[in-house]
Amino acid sequence: MNDSSKTSMSTAATLTCPACGQPCLSIWRKLRLGPARSVACPSCGSRLSVPWLPFAALMLFAQPACAILALLAVGPLLRIVGPVSMMTAAIGFLLLPMFFLVLLSWIYLRWTPLIVKRP
């Protein structure tokens, strides 16, 4: 590994390894990480993953909750703005899932910890 890749890794990594405390993982890599998958810490070589329980809770409860909130929000919003054009409705139906995707990503990053996976 050359010096430039070490510099880019240390600036790109925002999450620290629970084993060695060194920067190890970018937020984008953690978003692609699930409990059945693990990645190696570049500093100490420990296998990192996320625990099953917070991951399953997010998948089982947070996703349906966001969908229910979206459906509950549509009715009052339509009463506030009145009749809307198809273009406005299409933009709204594109932006609402994007908002909830960002929200779910934040919840996952915030409340799903990194763990050292034992072989």
Tell me the whole-structure pTM to 2 decimals. Answer: 0.70
What mean pLDDT do residues 98-102 have?
A: 85
Structure tokens at 46: 């420990």
Q: Which domain holds residue 83?
A: 3-116
pLDDT value of position 84? 67
Structure tokens at 51: 């625990």
Structure tokens at 78: 């339509």
For 2-40, how does the pLDDT look when each residue is reduced to its tens digit (9 = 90+)?
444 444 444 454 799 999 999 988 999 999 999 999 999
CA distance 108 to 55: 8
- What is the DSSP code (8-state) at residue 62? I
Number of domains in the chain: 1
Structure tokens at 61: 């409860």
For 59-87, how does the pLDDT look when each residue is reduced to its tens digit (9 = 90+)?
888 878 877 877 777 777 667 766 666 67
